[in-house]
Amino acid sequence: MQHVRREHPDYEAIMLAASTAETGSLLSYVRQSALNVYGRMEWILKNNLPLSFCENRAARRYTNHDPICVETLVSAMDSLTRVVERAIAAELPERFGLLFDGWAHASQHFIAVFACYDAGGVRKTPLLSMAPLLDALDDDLSARGHMEFLANMHVARL
């Protein structure tokens, strides 16, 4: 990919303008093992399944994906997270807004923090952080408690 970026800086525009017949499928350039891990990850995450589902014998029986263990799945998820974090950091402007979304489920409170900015005329709102709001029964739900919570999430201090 470095060669393509260095020698053909306009490759994105050329590829976007080209038809599928001109470019062909990219699947032949992707390792089968990567497609396998991606397929497992997509299946588990989109269906809100436990990570251990990839080791379930019945699930293995009814799929054409090669078997993987939980450790491999978690490692791939960690790697993907780092790639996405770098992509967001590279695109994030110096000044941006923060959006907060809070909700409760089964008496557990959560908060999510999103960045808000425009990139190329398109509004972007990537998720920066999400966590349960309370760790203990005596946690502080005041403004100060929320600020401490956000500081612990490594979100920019307000």
pLDDT digits (tens, 9 = 90+) for 10-65: 878 877 777 666 666 666 677 888 889 999 999 999 999 999 999 999 888 888 88
> What is d(CA 38, CA 138) in angstroms, rounded to the nearest whole number?
41
The closest of 81, 133, 88, 139 to 112, measured between CA atoms, is 133
Which alpha helices (H) appear in 19-69, and where do they start and end? 20-23, 32-46, 57-61
Copy the structure tokens of residue 82.
């780092």
**C-alpha angle with apex 22: 20 to 26, nearest 5 degrees?**
55
Quick check: helix, strand or coil at residue 141? coil
Copy the structure tokens of residue 108.
């557990």
pLDDT exceeds 60 at position 116: yes
pTM assigned to the model: 0.65
pLDDT of residue 135: 63
Q: Is 128 in contact with 150 (CB distance < 8 Å)?
A: no
Higher pLDDT pick, 121 / 143: 121
Copy the structure tokens of residue 69.
């263990």
**C-alpha angle with apex 79: 77 to 82, nearest 5 degrees?**
110
Which amino acid belongs to residue 17? A
Copy the structure tokens of residue 130.
């999400």
Report, as an integer, the average pLDDT of 94-112.
87
Higher pLDDT pick, 86 / 1: 86
Binned at pLDDT 50, 70 and 90, residue 118 comes out as very high
